[in-house]
């Protein structure tokens, strides 16, 4: 059983090897995690965990700079990847999920409980896409459109996570 795509990818019919050997596509596909046949967004969010764990070891200002860089670079990375694939917001483009998880976890202290809750909240907001996330997903195109809905999902998840962590006795510490 193979969990990775073997078929041609995108309208331009790229192979998995082409994606893994092209630096832009490799990043856009979340270091290869976006090649998962099912739930590539979830696999892309899982791929964000080591990056988050690394960033979480830094001061808040450096975490902030790194997260903004990942997000801003993502506009370019995702836009170029969509062009190379010949398809807007192909499901395997998961750099936006990486940025979304980093945004979700931005202002909460690292614990495995906050990471688990943040992961679940981000995936819920990314999948359900409440207003205005769904509207942006449908109306904004290019690299900005690919990134923006996940940035908003990350902000929504971060707000809920921060409220849970700050006000509810849910055992996050």
Burial class of residue 42 in the structure, from the number of CB atoms within 10 Å of its CB (0-12 exposed, 13-18 middle, 19+ buried): middle
What is the rounded average pLDDT of the residues 96-110?
A: 96
Going from N- to C-terminal start, the domains of the chain cover 16-167
Site of tokens 């942006």: 136
Instruction: At 36, list the tokens.
Output: 């998962």
Alpha helices in the chain (DSSP H): 16-21, 23-28, 40-55, 60-85, 95-104, 112-128, 133-139, 142-167
Chain centroid to Cα 14, Å, comes to 22
- Pick the range with the lowest mean pLDDT from 26-30, 56-60, 141-145, 163-167: 163-167
Residue 168: its pLDDT value, please?
61
Q: Report, as an integer, the average pLDDT of 101-117.
A: 94
Inform me whether the pLDDT recorded for 3 exceeds 60.
Answer: no
Whether residue 153 contacts residue 129, with contact meaning beta carbons closer than 8 Å, is answered with yes
pLDDT in tens, 17-61: 999 999 999 999 999 999 999 999 999 999 999 999 999 999 999
Average pLDDT along the chain: 92
């Amino acid at each position: 059983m193979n969990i990775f795509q073997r078929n041609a990818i995108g309208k331009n019919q790229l192979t998995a090897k082409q994606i893994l050997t092209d630096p832009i596509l490799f990043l856009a596909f979340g270091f290869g995690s976006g090649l998962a046949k099912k739930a590539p967004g979830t696999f892309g969010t899982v791929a964000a965990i080591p990056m988050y764990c690394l960033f979480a070891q830094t001061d808040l200002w450096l975490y902030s700079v790194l997260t903004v860089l990942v997000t801003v670079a993502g506009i370019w990375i995702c836009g170029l990847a969509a062009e190379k694939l010949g398809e807007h917001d192909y499901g395997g483009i998961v750099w936006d999920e990486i940025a979304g998880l980093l945004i979700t976890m931005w202002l909460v202290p690292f614990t495995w409980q906050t990471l688990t809750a943040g992961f679940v909240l981000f995936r819920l907001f990314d999948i359900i896409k409440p207003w205005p996330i769904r509207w942006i997903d449908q109306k904004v195109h290019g690299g900005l459109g690919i990134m923006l809905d996940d940035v908003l999902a990350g902000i929504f998840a971060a707000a809920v996570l921060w409220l849970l962590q700050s006000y509810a006795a849910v055992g996050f510490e």
